[in-house]
Amino acid sequence: MNYDFEGKETSFKKKSRIKIGFIILFFLLAVLISMIINRFVLEIALVEGASMEPCLFSGERLIVFKLAYAFTEPKAQDIIVLHFLPSDGVEKTENTMNLEYIKRIIGTPGDLIDLKYQQVYLNKDLLNESYAQGVTRQKKLLYPMEIHNNHCFVMGDNREYSRDSRDIGLVSTKYIIGKAVFRIWPLTKIGVIK
């Protein structure tokens, strides 16, 4: 009986190379898929600051669904992540243009927004805002204001500590990154965002 130890070793090396090649291919494919998902479908956002309290607190992490408005329009009460738009008095720099805000949509195209007596009126009806805290001041804009096409009126829930549409005006829907749908941190508060 003759044994071909050299042939077995060569066969073993080929199988090992094939396995390593599959592992590398699998890893590269996983990285590519995660990059595509992060770029076009989901993003993790960090809440910074107090503007969305008591709903969201600084340090919390959220999943943002970027395709939420691909086939539907933004709706009032949605919590969204949007690109910061420098307003008057704020220099447009690379740092300010890359900021992201987390806000609640108050009004959508065709709605009439009015802020009077420290209350919000939507289409002439007093808006029930159980989620809001603090005094709702008018700030820079004139009211009532009709929201035109492809724009939203957004505010933070913590009205005294929020820079929002009252400061920067209506927000174009093209600056909306996506809808905040799920809180993933802290683990004690994990769940759907309402």
Q: Can you give the residue ranges of every domain in the chain? A: 1-40, 47-192
Q: In this predicted structure, what is the pLDDT of residue 40?
A: 84
Q: Exposed, middle or buried, 97 (CB in 10 Å: 0-12/13-18/19+)? A: exposed
- pTM attached to this predicted model: 0.81
Q: Kindly state the tokens that stand for 97.
A: 């243009």
**Three-class SS of residue 175?**
helix
Q: Which of 104, 125, 101 is nearest to 113 (CA)?
A: 125
Report the catalytic residues.
51, 103
The type of residue at 46 is L
Long-range contacts of 64-68 (CB under 8 A, 24+ apart): 64/177, 64/178, 64/179, 64/180, 64/181, 65/41, 65/178, 65/179, 65/181, 66/40, 66/41, 66/42, 66/177, 66/178, 67/40, 67/41, 67/178, 68/178, 68/179, 68/181
Q: CA 103 to CA 52: how far, in whole Å?
A: 7
Rounded to the nearest angstrom, the gap between the alpha carbon of residue 137 and the centroid of all alpha carbons in its chain is 25
Check: CATH 2.10.109.10 for 47-192? yes
Q: Kindly state the tokens that stand for 158.
A: 């913590």
pLDDT digit string (tens) for the chain, length 194 residues:
555 555 555 677 777 888 888 899 999 999 998 888 888 889 999 999 999 999 999 999 999 999 999 999 999 999 999 987 655 455 556 655 568 899 999 999 999 999 999 999 999 999 999 999 999 998 888 899 999 999 999 999 999 999 899 988 899 999 999 999 999 999 999 999 98
